[in-house]
Amino acid sequence: MMPFAVTTQGAQQPAPAQKQYGISSPISLAAPKDTDLELTQKLIETLQPFGVFEEEEELQRRILILQKLNNLVKEWIREISESRNLPQAVIENVGGKIFTFGSYRLGVHTKGADIDALCVAPRHVDRNDFFTSFYDKLKLQEEVKDLRAVEEAFVPVIKLCFDGIEIDILFARLALQTIPEDLDLRDDSLLKNLDIRCIRSLNGCRVTDEILHLVPNIDSFRLTLRAIKLWAKCHNIYSNILGFLGGVSWAMLVARTCQLYPNAIASTLVRKFFLVFSEWEWPNPVLLKEPEERNLNLPVWDPRVNPSDRYHLMPIITPAYPQQNSTYNVSVSTRMVMIEEFKQGLAITHEILLNKAEWSKLFEAPSFFQKYKHYIVLLASAPTEKQHLEWVGLVESKIRILVGSLEKNEFITLAHVNPQSFPAPKENVDKEDFRTMWVIGLVLKKPENSEILSIDLTYDIQSFTDTVYRQAINSKMFEMDMKIAAMHLRRKELHQLLPNHVLQKKETHLTESVRLTAGSDSSLLLSVDSENGISAPSPTGTMKTGPLSGNPQGRHSPVLAVMTASVTNIQFPEVSLQHVSPIESSGIALGESIPPIPSPPTISPPPKPTMTRVVSSTHLVNHPSRPSGNTATNIPNPILGI
């Protein structure tokens, strides 16, 4: 039987009380009450309009497509086996199989979602065969569209659209002569003698299968996870690449909640989810099972051994060997935002329990564009659609580097990037180009004993764009007219770039006023003032980066970012800042199936702009040094957890 998940919400069967799930005893074994059943039914009804449940007809269509794909794999492997003159007895039983992982395997995929799949082959079929003969076989299928191979990716993949369903297919070659139908990928012995790319490809299936085996009630887990994933997407905290959490991380948090409340159903589990993780003592790791050593010499997450692991801010550890931290991208700001969202979710679910609110309130989008007074807007543009897709992907993957740099500034309390990107208006209506933008909200901290604060962010922006261009050049992706621009907009100016339906939100959270001004060369400064401070006219600060014509280094050498700005220091009597709890140290990237960012080639950096603290209109008192990095958080016992 193929491992295809079927999503149903059946009768709840409480798990046996004597069995312990996870690394600790459950918090509560209470069975659901009538009110819990009613609230769960209301939750299902609330989720329906959001398209989180797939119709049975569509589900059967997916199963049929995967069966066709599975038959193609078997046919292809048999052909390879015959071409290599294997014995007929081996050919008859050679096998080969398509496994699924991710949201589809977990049973929480939404309407129109793609499918993550893994092609498992025996030892005489190699990766080159997968990207040549199997690719050619797929090309001959009339149902297959948009076929493309990404062979040089960290986890090599073939992408395609099969009869209208997007599918990503990874490849793993096992050290087996044949692939049996009942193969269990959770068997750690399968990892012996495999190359690292096969181990990475297997990781998704192994983690997904392990999660499903570690939860007490799969139906309750699935419904809870559907609700939490929808909530995270509505609240703009669903993005691994930008430093929030991705699908597997949300799944593990929900699975841990299910372990702590093994007999609870979805309405209770959603509330307990917010309770547990709003109070969680980060950076203590979230673990679904005790880590086990398999002596296969593979790198695993272990802060007792790996110093870099001690810097991870919000570790959520995958349950399958080799254990990895799935949240290596989380930063001080993104963790701060997520914890605040956990607390708000807890408050809302408490209101729902008391019949003071409906479930729909939990899924209301927050007012990101009303929450802050000032924003940095990043804009990526390219002349063709194909170049734009590649360029946007690269820029987005590096935004967290800029956020991390901003966080190290002693006067920036929070740099909150909205994971949702937006199309940007064209700069020149007569010239065809493709433009995408991201928005970062800022919270500044008033310095002690001072009336004026000027923050120069030129170096931060310049370092970010330098990193993006360097990566584009090294990967031979860069083309002329691929550009990055950075600009400042106050809240009341956002309408210049964003449509009204995006900006119109219910809530308003005022933080502080920040002024960014433009004028002279090579500096980007923020000046803080109050609502009643002296106003000064200043055009929007804009930075554009890109290659200049006549560059002696050639067309593939972009000029580093140069921001034009002038200093306007504005005095203010007092600034009222929104209270933010102190957060522990920042982190170092290291995570599941994704390599740490390689150190860039050595180049001469641009001059480091000064950051000045002004205490009067005429006296400059000091030049604070830029923090060199984050200090490690002491973890007395790194394998602790509730």
Instruction: Check 42, 74, 114, 126 and give the catalytic one.
Output: 114
Closest CA to 51 of 224, 221, 219, 230: 230
Instruction: Check 116, 456, 460, 466 and give the catalytic one.
Output: 116
Alpha helices in 485-630 (DSSP H): 500-503
pLDDT tens readout for residues 590-603: 233 323 333 333 33
pLDDT tens readout for residues 612-623: 322 222 222 233
Q: Report helix, strand and coil shares of the chain as percent, to nearest 5.
A: 35, 15, 50
Closest CA to 414 of 376, 441, 374, 453: 441
| 529 is a catalytic site residue | no
| 104 is a catalytic site residue | no
| pTM: predicted TM-score of the whole model, two decimal places | 0.77
Residues with Cβ within 8 Å of 116's Cβ and at least 6 positions away in sequence, in order, are 100, 101, 102, 103, 104, 105, 168, 170, 204
Separation CA 642–CA 637 (nearest Å)? 13
Q: Per-residue pLDDT averaged across 35-63, rounded?
A: 94
Instruction: Check 168, 302, 433, 481 and give the catalytic one.
Output: 168
| 116 is a catalytic site residue | yes
The answer to whether residue 557 scores a pLDDT higher than 50 is: no
Closest CA to 344 of 237, 258, 184, 239: 237
Instruction: Check 81, 219, 233, 238 and give the catalytic one.
Output: 238
pLDDT tens readout for residues 307-343: 999 999 999 999 999 999 999 999 999 999 999 999 9
Instruction: Please tell me the predicted confidence (pLDDT) of residue 598.
Output: 33
Instruction: Please tell me the predicted confidence (pLDDT) of residue 492.
Output: 87
| 527 is a catalytic site residue | no
Q: Are 107 and 222 in contact (CB under 8 A)?
A: yes
pLDDT band at 259 (very low <50, low <70, confident <90, very high): very high
Q: How far is CA 8 from CA 53, 64, 222, in A?
A: 9, 18, 9
Q: Per-residue pLDDT averaged across 446-461, rounded?
A: 78
Separation CA 291–CA 383 (nearest Å)? 49
pLDDT tens readout for residues 118-129: 999 999 999 999
- 131-156 burial: b if 16+ Cβ within 10 Å, else e: beebbeebeeeeebeeeebeeeeeeb
Q: Are 561 and 510 in contact (CB under 8 A)?
A: no
The answer to whether residue 565 scores a pLDDT higher than 90 is: no
Most confident range (mean pLDDT) of 8-12, 191-195, 517-521, 613-617 is: 191-195
What's the whole-number average pLDDT of the chain? 79
pLDDT tens readout for residues 478-506: 988 899 988 888 888 888 888 887 877 54
| 126 is a catalytic site residue | no
pLDDT tens readout for residues 383-411: 998 899 889 999 999 999 999 999 888 88
pLDDT tens readout for residues 69-102: 999 999 999 999 999 999 999 999 999 999 999 9
Percentage of the chain beyond pLDDT 70 is 75
Residues with Cβ within 8 Å of 74's Cβ and at least 6 positions away in sequence, in order, are 95, 96, 97
Residues with Cβ within 8 Å of 17's Cβ and at least 6 positions away in sequence, in order, are 29, 262, 263
Instruction: Check 21, 97, 103, 523 and give the catalytic one.
Output: 103
Q: Are 447 and 516 in contact (CB under 8 A)?
A: no
Closest CA to 98 of 185, 190, 197: 185
| 114 is a catalytic site residue | yes
Which burial class, exposed, middle or buried, applies to 625 when counting CB atoms under 10 A from its CB (0-12, 13-18, 19+)? exposed
Closest CA to 260 of 275, 245, 282: 275
CA atoms lying within 13 Å on the CB side of residue 458: 25
Length of the chain: 642
Top-confidence residue, 601 or 21: 21
